[in-house]
């Protein structure tokens, strides 16, 4: 389960929130920055098992009440919607201070792992399929 959790969180954090002070940006600036960074993400090198577990998910990330939606299709993040997607497969909850800690970290994977294990980051599958995949990930990964 760790790999899928880390993938979901790191995918969004590393790709979407690479600038310090994102909280001080206007909504339009944040949207533009996130979209530009997401355009560079390529999921081709993702292990096959992870591709199966992810499928084509719609993921909403909530940071201090603000929601950002991401849709993955093929090997790319296809859509980014500030305000979130309707009927997401997963919702990831991350407080802004944790997000900033992760972005500013020298070791993003360890910081994400620690934050998740301490309950600072939560991932909630929303659909039956996502719940099954999340359960399978818990068993096999």
Domain ranges across the chain: 2-140
pLDDT single digits (tens) 93-106: 888 888 778 777 78
**How far apart are the two ends of the chain, measured CA to CA in Å?**
5
**Nearest 5°: CA angle at 72, between 23 and 5?**
70
Tell me: the pLDDT tens digits for 124-138?
899 998 888 878 766
Fold classification of 2-140 is Nonspecific Lipid-transfer Protein; Chain A (3.30.1050)
pTM over 0.95, yes/no: no
| Residue 69 three-state SS | strand
Check residue 73 and give its pLDDT.
74
Alpha carbon separation from 9 to 26, 83, 111, 138 (Å, rounded): 23, 18, 11, 16
Instruction: Determine contact, residues 67/80, Cβ cutoff 8 Å.
Output: no
């Amino acid at each position: 389960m760790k790999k899928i959790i880390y993938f979901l969180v790191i995918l969004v954090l590393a790709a979407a929130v690479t600038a310090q002070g994102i909280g001080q940006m206007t909504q339009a600036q944040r949207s533009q920055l996130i979209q530009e960074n997401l355009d560079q993400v390529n999921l081709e090198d993702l292990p096959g098992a992870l591709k199966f577990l992810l499928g084509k998910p719609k993921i909403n990330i909530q940071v201090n009440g603000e929601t950002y939606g991401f849709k993955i299709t093929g090997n790319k993040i296809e859509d980014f919607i500030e305000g979130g997607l309707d009927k997401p497969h997963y919702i990831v909850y991350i407080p802004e201070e944790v997000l900033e800690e992760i972005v500013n970290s020298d070791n993003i994977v360890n910081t994400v792992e620690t934050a998740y294990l301490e309950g600072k980051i939560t991932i909630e599958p929303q659909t039956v399929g996502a719940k099954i995949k999340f359960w399978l990930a818990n068993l096999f990964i």
